[in-house]
Structure 1
Amino acid sequence: MATLKDVSRHVRSKNAGPFWVTVDIFFDSKESFTRYAKTEKLAPSVFAQLYSADPAHVHHYLVPDLNILKISYPRTWPQGGELERDMHAGNQCKRLLNLELD
């Protein structure tokens, strides 16, 4: 069973403004990108569920020339707000690393 960390060379999350987070998945090869970037395991609905976001507001971008999948979703709480737990959103990608893709 392949996990995201098995088929990517880098996964990062970061702020995309005070109200959005972006996750970048850098696949380790063209083959991995072709096989997994469009899988239902990485669909916007999965991110909506994992990050408590409205599925209609989860954006899914493919960058085939670079073997990258970019996903943006609205933050649950605004950056720097009273209930914020990850100011720069750098830890949001960790829950994805063991996501089973097959």
Structure 2
Amino acid sequence: MVKLIDIAKVIRSKNSGPFELTFDIIFKDKEIYEKVKGKKAINSELIKRLYKISEDKIIGIYYFDPALAVKFTIVRPLPAGHLGETDIYGAQQHAPLLNAELEL
């Protein structure tokens, strides 16, 4: 098992419109990225577990070879700016990924 934070150089989240959040994970090098991609280590099971959401809340998971990156998008729990919503920009939603462990 390896911690995601130890193999990624960027882990971030942001708005993808008022009803979606998108996450980017950019890896330190091609070898690590290829291992993660080959094992499909960033997958719906991991996202569901980390974000405590159902499969239908995951809009997509995309591996992007030119950037050595994985991007995924989920439905926001509350729309941006909605009463009770605490992160209008979606910039702090990557926190669960920081402690994620992957089996490579």
TM-score by length of 2: 0.87
1:63 and 2:73 correspond: no
Give 5+ residue unaligned stretches, structure 1.
none
Instruction: Classify the secondary structure of the residue corresponding to 1:53.
Output: coil
Partner of 1:86: 87
Q: Does the CA contact (< 8 Å) of 1:29 and 1:67 recur in 2?
A: yes
1:66 Cα offset (Å): 1.1
TM-score by length of 1: 0.89
Q: How many angstroms apart in 2 are the aligned matches of 1:50 and 1:99?
A: 8
Instruction: Classify the secondary structure of the residue corresponding to 1:32.
Output: helix
> What is the 5 A alignment of 1:6-85?
6-37=6-37, 39=39, 41-58=41-58, 59-85=60-86
Q: Stretches of 4+ moved more than 6 A in 1?
A: none
Quickly say closer, same or farther: Cα 1:83–1:38, change in 2 above 3 A.
farther
Instruction: Classify the secondary structure of the residue corresponding to 2:2.
Output: coil
Give 5+ residue unaligned stretches, structure 2.
none
Quickly say closer, same or farther: Cα 1:39–1:57, change in 2 above 3 A.
farther
Number of equivalenced pairs: 102
Quickly say closer, same or farther: Cα 1:38–1:77, change in 2 above 3 A.
farther
- Give the % identical residues: 30
Structure having the higher strand fraction is 2
Q: How many angstroms apart in 1 are the aligned matches of 2:24 and 2:62?
A: 10
